[in-house]
């Protein structure tokens, strides 16, 4: 059974989209700006009303309370948002201060002290990496990544790519990765879809 | 009622001169609000004169039906006022419905409580007590509701990405909007709480002033004013809570999605 299945999903500017992503598979999405990539990811996370159905391990999104669905189908917006003063406060709920989580932080290039940092001292790239960490604390089974490395320098792109690959293998997570960078797509993706007209078309 | 000094139309026209002077200053300084000052002043004269006649007739008849009709009219007017003060209204009848509904719940309940338990006039809906009391409650609740709902909708709009990030992380709609909700309620309550704190030191509340001018003993007027202050604060608080609760629920759908399309831009 496929991890993520989309059946006739329509966003306000595109669709119907029907495709599936397997366990541990990474599918790249590309296309010009404004063609509805973000809207597709939002619809998959059930953040916008959208016709059609989305299934996770065979279970429809409507059978699961929305907050639970979003913990399993995790969306990482292109721009991260922070609302408390310090980094650590944003992790209070799902934050298990286990060693594994700290190892994750280190793999993303941070020390434990980052938890006490004030948000205003973070760079855009640091926020992006910490937002990824925050999302993965939910241990989602599907990752919807909207240009997750757009604000990162070369070295940190490598860190994030490795980190996501490891997580995807270990958790058997299905990954949808929006990227504009052909090299990154070649490095990361098992398959590649391009936005064409109202739907998607496979790129060889 | 010992001899209150009556005001003649001539006396009022002296007061009106001050408003004209203010409008003149507005023209001179190009503040651009002279038109609104004058229109509002004229509205004050017309509305208050009309209500004077209505109350005169109402006090004379004291029939429960007429009192109810009057109360309903006041409620609808307050509901309209709340809606028109919103920068981003809920679409459809929701804005008016929630504003009016929350004021109905709080102002009417508190007024009923004050009339039956505290003041106990005979009959309990005696318009001389019921109408001014309800008016004060509606007026203040209206301010609290419109301030807080306006704060809520504006902040939900400007913090959209924060709310949606919190939803995307698996928070429920109530968790994702909790901070904004709390702040909005505070915004609605601060004016009336401040008024309680400053009462008597900085300002002599209008109703007490009125009673004293009308020749009542200051200590009697003070007791009424304390009761009114408590009623008005409670009414504003309950009304604000109800309006924020209903509005924030309307901003999400059954799948805990933020629905800004339900607000007029």
Nearest chain A Cα distance for residue B86, angstroms: 25
What's residue A98's pLDDT?
A: 66
Whether B79 and B49 map to the same domain: the answer is: no
CB contact under 8 A, B256 and A66: yes
B239: number of Cβ within 10 Å: 32
Whether B38 and B96 map to the same domain: the answer is: no
What is the C-alpha separation between B26 and B44, in angstroms, rounded?
Answer: 19
Closest-approach residue (CA) in chain B for A143: B168
How much is the ipTM here?
0.94
Which of B181, B151, B153 minimizes the C-alpha distance to B245?
B181
The answer to whether A57 and A1 have CB atoms below 8 angstroms apart is yes
Instruction: Kindly state the helix (H) or strand (E) to which residue A127 belongs, with its residue range.
Output: helix A124-136
Whether B57 and B67 map to the same domain: the answer is: no
* Residue B22: pLDDT over 80: yes
Closest-approach residue (CA) in chain A for B161: A81
Whether B47 and B77 map to the same domain: the answer is: no
Q: Residue A15: which region, alpha, beta or left (left: phi > 0; alpha: psi -120 to 50)?
A: left
* Residue B1: pLDDT over 50: no
Whether B44 and B4 map to the same domain: the answer is: yes
CB contact under 8 A, A67 and B167: yes
What's residue B91's pLDDT?
A: 94
CB contact under 8 A, A83 and B164: no
What is the C-alpha separation between B227 and B114, in angstroms, rounded?
Answer: 9
Whether B107 and B205 map to the same domain: the answer is: yes
CATH number of the domain that A192 lies in? 3.40.50.300
Whether B106 and B214 map to the same domain: the answer is: yes
* Residue B149: pLDDT over 70: yes
Whether B198 and B98 map to the same domain: the answer is: yes
Q: Select the residue of B159, B170, B258 nearest A70 (Cβ to Cβ).
A: B170
What's residue B259's pLDDT?
A: 97
| Residue A24: domain span | 4-203
Whether B148 and B240 map to the same domain: the answer is: yes
What is the C-alpha separation between A132 and B33, in angstroms, rounded?
Answer: 52
What's residue A62's pLDDT?
A: 94
B89 secondary structure, DSSP code: P
Q: Select the residue of A46, A79, A93 nearest B255 (Cβ to Cβ).
A: A46
What's residue A123's pLDDT?
A: 95
Closest-approach residue (CA) in chain B for A144: B168
What's residue A34's pLDDT?
A: 81
Chain B hits for A70, Cβ within 8 Å: 167-170
What's the mean per-residue pLDDT of chain B? 93
> Which of B255, B256, B261 should be substituted to probe chain A, the one whose Cβ sees the most A Cβ atoms within 10 Å?
B255
What's residue A159's pLDDT?
A: 95
Q: In A71-190, at which residue ranges do the beta strands (DSSP E only) sit? A: 73-76, 142-146, 174-178
Chain B hits for A71, Cβ within 8 Å: 169-170
How many distinct structural domains can be found in chain A?
Answer: 1
Which of A84-98, B105-119, B164-178 is the least confident region?
A84-98
Chain B hits for A82, Cβ within 8 Å: 162
What's residue A96's pLDDT?
A: 60
Q: Residue A36: which region, alpha, beta or left (left: phi > 0; alpha: psi -120 to 50)?
A: left
Whether B100 and B200 map to the same domain: the answer is: yes
Chain B hits for A68, Cβ within 8 Å: 170
How many distinct structural domains can be found in chain B?
Answer: 2
Task: Output the pTM of the full model.
Answer: 0.89
Closest-approach residue (CA) in chain A for B254: A66
CB contact under 8 A, B164 and A47: yes
Tell me which of B15, B43, B61 is where a domain ends. B61
CB contact under 8 A, A71 and B253: no
Structure confidence by residue, pLDDT tens digits, B53-111: 999 999 898 789 999 999 999 999 999 999 998 999 999 999 999 999 999 999 999 99
Whether B55 and B72 map to the same domain: the answer is: no
CB contact under 8 A, A70 and B169: yes
Whether B241 and B160 map to the same domain: the answer is: yes
The structure tokens listed for A181 are: 């960078």
| Residue B39: domain span | 1-61
Residues from B in contact with A at Cβ < 8 Å: 159, 161-162, 164-172, 179, 253, 255-258
Residues from A in contact with B at Cβ < 8 Å: 45-49, 66-68, 70-71, 74-75, 77, 79-83, 93-94, 131, 134-135, 138
Residues B187-200: what's their mean pLDDT?
Answer: 92
Q: What is the mean pLDDT of each run of 10 residues along chain A (204 residues)?
A: 92 89 96 88 96 95 96 96 94 65 90 93 95 94 96 93 96 95 95 90 86
The answer to whether B151 and B120 have CB atoms below 8 angstroms apart is no
């Amino acid at each position: 059974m496929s991890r993520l299945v989309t059946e006739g999903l329509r966003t306000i500017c595109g669709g119907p989209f029907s495709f599936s992503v397997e366990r541990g598979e990474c599918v790249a999405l590309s296309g010009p700006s404004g063609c509805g990539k973000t809207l597709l990811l939002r619809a998959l996370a059930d953040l916008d009303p959208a016709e059609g159905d989305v299934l996770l391990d065979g279970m429809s999104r409507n059978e699961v309370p929305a907050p639970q669905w979003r913990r399993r189908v995790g969306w990482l917006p292109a721009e991260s948002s922070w609302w408390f003063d310090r980094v650590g406060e944003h992790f209070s709920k799902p934050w298990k201060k286990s060693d594994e989580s700290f190892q994750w932080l280190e793999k993303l290039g941070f020390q434990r002290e980052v938890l006490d940092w004030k948000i205003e001292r973070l760079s855009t790239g640091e926020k992006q990496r910490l937002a990824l960490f925050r999302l993965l604390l939910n241990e989602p089974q599907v990752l919807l990544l909207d240009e997750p490395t757009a604000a990162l320098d070369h070295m940190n792109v490598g860190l994030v790519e490795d980190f996501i690959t490891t997580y995807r293998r270990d958790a058997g997570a299905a990954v949808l990765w929006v990227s504009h960078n052909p090299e990154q797509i070649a490095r990361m993706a098992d398959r590649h879809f391009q936005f064409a007209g109202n739907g998607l078309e496979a790129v060889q | 009622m010992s001899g209150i000094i009556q005001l003649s139309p001539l006396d009022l026209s002296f007061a009106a001169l001050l408003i004209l002077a203010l409008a003149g200053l507005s023209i001179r300084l190009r503040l651009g609000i002279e038109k609104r000052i004058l229109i509002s002043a004229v509205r004050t004269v017309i509305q208050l004169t009309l209500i004077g006649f209505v109350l005169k007739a109402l006090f004379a008849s004291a029939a429960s039906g007429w009192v109810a009709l009057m109360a309903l009219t006041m409620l609808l007017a307050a509901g309209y006022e709340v809606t028109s003060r919103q920068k981003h209204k809920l679409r459809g009848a929701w804005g008016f419905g929630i504003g009016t509904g929350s004021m109905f719940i709080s102002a009417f309940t508190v007024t009923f409580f004050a009339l039956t338990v505290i003041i106990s006039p005979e009959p309990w809906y005696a318009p001389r007590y019921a109408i001014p009391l309800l008016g004060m409650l509606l007026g203040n609740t209206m301010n609290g509701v419109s301030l807080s709902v306006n704060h809520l909708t504006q902040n939900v709009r400007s913090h959209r990405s924060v709310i949606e990030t919190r939803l995307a992380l698996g928070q429920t709609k109530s968790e994702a909007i909790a901070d904004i909700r709390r702040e909005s309620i505070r915004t609605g309550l601060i004016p009336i709480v401040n008024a309680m704190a400053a009462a008597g030191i900085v300002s002599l509340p209008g109703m007490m002033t009125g009673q004293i001018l009308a020749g009542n003993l200051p200590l009697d007027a003070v007791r009424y004013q304390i009761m009114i202050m408590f009623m008005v604060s409670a009414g504003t608080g309950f009304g604000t809570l109800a309006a924020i609760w209903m509005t924030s629920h309307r901003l999400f759908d059954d799948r805990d999605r933020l629905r800004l399309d339900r607000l007029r831009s």
